[in-house]
Amino acid sequence: MNWQVIILLMFYMIGFSSCINDKTPVEAEYRKINAEEAYQMMQSTDGFILVDVRTAEEFNERHIKGALLIPVNEINVRAVDELPDKNALILVYCRSGARSANAAYDLVDMGYTNVYDFGGILNWPYETVDKSS
């Protein structure tokens, strides 16, 4: 076998094995979107996790249907158990946007790769669950 064939086979094997073993990590980064974009994602995607990072009192007054309550001051402790899939689509909101940004940054720092902060429920024009419901 000539050396050119051997080199071609080596490149083929290296290229083939890299395709099989390609486990390129997904970059964890903070992403800010608006309420409309979040709503569209919720309508077109199965399996998203909606996280409300306000207090229990605020949540009980009004929240988005299907939201999981994890107050921002508990996100670092509870995320590991309540959000086990670090690649899941996670949509985060609060009242006005400050706490959701903090929580989203915390999740990204913890290695969550698909986190979107859409700000506050004050800017959510869609249906919510409120105390009178």
Which H, E and C letters describe 61-94, residue by residue? HEECCCCEECCHHHHHHHHHHHCCCCCCCEEEEE
Task: Please list, in sequence order, all residues whose beta carbon lies within 8 angstroms of the beta carbon of residue 123, skipping any fewer than 6 positions away.
Answer: 34, 35, 97
CA distance 111 to 102: 15
Give the residue numbers annotated as catalytic, written as ranges.
94
Q: What is the DSSP letter of 32?
A: B
